[in-house]
Structure 1
Amino acid sequence: MNQTPRFRSMVALGDSFTEGMCDELLPDGHYRGWADRVADRLAADTDGSDGFRYANLAVRGKLIGQISDEQVDTAVALRGELVTLAGGLNDVMRPGCDIEHVERTLGALAQRLAAEARQVVMFYSVDPSRRMRGSARIMPQILRLQRFVGDLAKRHDNIALVDLFHVPAFDDPRMWAEDRLHFSAEGHRRVAEAVLQALGYPASFDWREPLPPAAPVPRATKLRADLRWLRLHVWPWLLRRLTGKSSGDGRPAKRPSLERYPS
């Protein structure tokens, strides 16, 4: 029987997904997120006087080129035993996405990290087709990127793949925050469990299991929620696109160095 792997350090790269939006807020004002939840479990299993160390370099809104330019050198220098890499979806969601550039950049990142780290974790993003109106436009790029990531995992023995795409439970609105773009606390909890199981940890629960049926929502309540969503989330997003701004502009990583965790 294989032993559960133990890691003494973890470095997370990416965008808002890995930063942790919109999980519960921590006392320092940062979101918790699935990566922090994974670090909690790994830290609890770490022996030795040095303890467990964790860095999270992810920043919301980052494109794959920015992840490459701003995060990968730091990640390699930190020499984390476990490295998680998620990126490219922000590129895919933008009109005129250069999918070949995304693949080329993501592939170079994965190859460099896999050469340095003991274990790398990558992802199939969730399937938006049943949840987001207008997602048909980006589905060909999402499926192409999924095939590319799958090929990367096949070529590298130390890349573990977490498949969120083929899990219908993520269609449930309760898995998502009010902005309908980022996971809720329950969504982050399930992603963390998916990562831990991909690493060989015994299951704490079935992260693929659907939530119990929800109570019906009155039509008027749904309409008010849609209007609020448009006002608070869609229009600001469109304004940033029109002005060339990003929600992550000027924002530092929440854990830029490999420090003892929990501190």
Structure 2
Amino acid sequence: MTAAEAHGLRYVALGDSQTEGLGDGDDIAGHRGWADRLAEHLARHDPELRYANLAVRGRLASQVRAEQLGPALALRPDLVTVVAGVNDLLRPRFDADQVAGHLEAMFAALTAQGARVATLTFPDITRVIPIARPLGSRVTALNDRIRHAARSHGVILAETGHHPVVTDPRMWSPDRLHASPLGHQRIAAAMAHALALPGSDDTWSHPLLPPAAPLRTGRRAAVAELRWAAAYLGPWVGRRLRGRSSGDGCTPKRPHLLAVQAPPEAPRGQGE
């Protein structure tokens, strides 16, 4: 029997707002998110599981590495998920090699310590945010480098980027920057499938039913985009101009390894 089997699996999640769970809950009741959901799946098969979530909203890949890698290594995890880079994609100065370099450094350090590491690829955000069309090539470049870094270090990769369902509007919260509760559930199911966990399968990649309503066109679409920009893009740009981040003053929601109470129902790819 291994140490992990004797004392319970130690799972640590590193990342930004998606891993923190924004879009799945709120700052008052708390955020659940895909990493919490994955931990619950793990706990169904390992009642002794302990889970820490070091993710903080707004963090760039360099900040995840600088702020979260050391504490993660200190927790001696058996399983680690590392998901970062989207905040970098949205910055005016984006260097795919530099971002991937920070991710690869985390992969190397964690796998060298014996942890099993998992990550994912990102969807085409231009399908979710049409005005972000110039960023499409950035997503492609970063995903290519994530795949290479994952192969180099034996990191498990959930290929969530190229399945059409990931750009279904119902998978995203109104701000289109964070997954909805259903989106977080699908991400957790994708990770569980990539990790070959008991009870997981590929239904997370199946289209949502019924099909999504046709996208708006013409004047209605333009009005909807303007409303979205005023409600979400404007405040985001304002923070950037002031040199601020949504994560200023925030700390990890779960910095220590704690037990997880598994809910009775098993997560399924089709939704809740």
| TM-score bracket for the superposition, by shorter chain length | 0.7 to 0.9
Write the distance in 1 (CA, Å) between the matches of 2:130 and 2:216. 20
Question: Where does residue 61 of structure 1 map in the other structure?
Answer: 58
Residue deviations 1:122-163 (CA, integer Å, cap 9, x gap): 110112233322333222322222111111222223x10011
Q: 1:11 to 1:224 in 2, by over 3 A?
A: same
Question: Where does residue 39 of structure 2 map in the other structure?
Answer: 39
Residue deviations 1:21-61 (CA, integer Å, cap 9, x gap): 101348x63210000000001111115xxx11000000110
> How far off its partner does 1:118 sit?
2.9
* Secondary structure of the corresponding residue to residue 35 of structure 1: helix
Question: Where does residue 270 of structure 2 map in the other structure?
Answer: none
* Secondary structure of the corresponding residue to residue 125 of structure 2: coil
Residue 183 of structure 2: which of 181, 184, 187 is its match? 187
Question: Where does residue 197 of structure 1 map in the other structure?
Answer: 193
> How far off its partner does 1:232 sit?
2.3
Q: Which deviates more, 115-124 or 66-75?
A: 115-124
Q: Which AA in structure 2 matches 1:115?
A: A
Q: Which AA in structure 1 matches 2:43?
A: A
Question: Where does residue 267 of structure 2 map in the other structure?
Answer: none
Does structure 1 conserve the Cα–Cα contact (< 8 Å) formed by 2:158 and 2:194? yes
Q: 1:243 to 1:146 in 2, by over 3 A?
A: same
1:160-239 map, 5 Å: 160-201=156-197, 202-203=199-200, 206-211=203-208, 212-215=210-213, 225-239=224-238
Q: RMSD of aligned C-alpha atoms?
A: 2.4
Q: How many residues align?
A: 254
Q: Which deviates more, 111-120 or 177-186?
A: 111-120
* Secondary structure of the corresponding residue to residue 59 of structure 1: coil
> How far off its partner does 1:262 sit?
2.9
Residue 133 of structure 1: which of 127, 130, 139 is its match? 130
Task: Confirm whether residue 261 of structure 1 aligns to residue 257 of structure 2.
Answer: no
Q: 1:152 to 1:217 in 2, by over 3 A?
A: closer
Does structure 1 conserve the Cα–Cα contact (< 8 Å) formed by 2:126 and 2:135? no
Question: Where does residue 80 of structure 1 map in the other structure?
Answer: 77
Does structure 2 conserve the Cα–Cα contact (< 8 Å) formed by 1:55 and 1:255? yes
Does structure 2 conserve the Cα–Cα contact (< 8 Å) formed by 1:82 and 1:117? no
Residue 95 of structure 2: which of 90, 98, 103 is its match? 98
Write the distance in 2 (CA, Å) between the matches of 1:86 and 1:253. 15
> Could you state the TM-score of these two structures normalised by the residue count of structure 1?
0.88
Residue deviations 1:92-128 (CA, integer Å, cap 9, x gap): 2111113332122221111111112431011101122
Q: Which deviates more, 230-239 or 65-74?
A: 230-239
Write the distance in 2 (CA, Å) between the matches of 1:190 and 1:155. 26
Write the distance in 2 (CA, Å) between the matches of 1:222 and 1:24. 28
Q: 1:224 to 1:92 in 2, by over 3 A?
A: closer
Q: Which AA in structure 1 matches 2:38?
A: V
Q: Which deviates more, 211-220 or 105-114?
A: 211-220
Q: 1:217 to 1:105 in 2, by over 3 A?
A: closer
Q: 1:216 to 1:74 in 2, by over 3 A?
A: same
Question: Where does residue 269 of structure 2 map in the other structure?
Answer: none
Write the distance in 1 (CA, Å) between the matches of 2:140 and 2:207. 23
Q: 1:152 to 1:79 in 2, by over 3 A?
A: same
